[in-house]
Homo-oligomer: A and B are copies of this chain.
Amino acid sequence: MSKHLAGPEIEKLIQLLARVPGLGPRSARRAALFLIKKKEALLKPLGLAMQDAAEKIRICSVCGNVDTSDPCSVCTDPRRDQSTIIVVEDVSDLWALERAGTMQVKYHVLGGHLSPLDGIGPDDLNIAGLVNRVAEGNVKEVILAVNATIEGQTTAHYLTDQLHPYPVKITRLAHGVPVGGELDYLDDGTLAAALRARTSL
């Protein structure tokens, strides 16, 4: 094993790198060697950036976003429409929607989806926080931008039930043909949904 060769520091680095998503034991070894070779240009700055992030990053207590301030810069941005909340499963979905850049609104990050099989119930998600924000009365529309999976849709149904008592419009993302997508490669469910939701030209 390499632990007899390269010392405990490298072994530890490889072990931790192997737990990063996208890297396995083999690619972690390759990554560690690459980092060691680029010590000044990459290994040192990356180590510092990680410590810096670990020290400064907070979870926003309002929406669940990650940022260096709490409330986060999205929640405190006065230019955003305060009356619309997009509900997403994960921070990465929030980033994806922001990259799309269509709506300047607020967000709410659930932190996952309901999944009874995995023991994830409503209390494990940031749902109470969403209901509180809606109960305050300033929100006019909640857009459920959860994944189009079974779990995502179950979560959407549950959220709809929870938000039902409040005078708020609840919407979901449209189903349809992805832009640039070829019909031949699409599943039947998507095609059927795209046909049903056809729009006139």
Contacts and interface: CB of A to CB of B under 8 A. Distances in A.
Contact of A53 (B10, B48, B73, B90): B10
A48 B49 contact: no
A190 interface: no
A53 B9 contact: yes
Contacts of A158: none
B6 A35 contact: no
Given A16-B46, A22-B22, A66 B34 contact: no
A35 B69 CA distance: 18
Interface residues of A, number: 57
A51 B67 CA distance: 24
Contacts of A47: 47-51, 53-54
Interface in A27-45: 27, 29-36, 39, 42-45
Interface stretch (A92-100, A124-132, A141-149, A165-173): A92-100
A84 interface: no
Interface string A75-119: 000000000000000111011001100000000000000000000
A90 B72 CA distance: 45
Q: Which 9 pairs, one residue from A and one from B, show the smallest C-beta to C-beta distance?
A: A47-B50, A47-B51, A22-B27, A7-B68, A16-B46, A44-B54, A2-B95, A43-B54, A13-B49
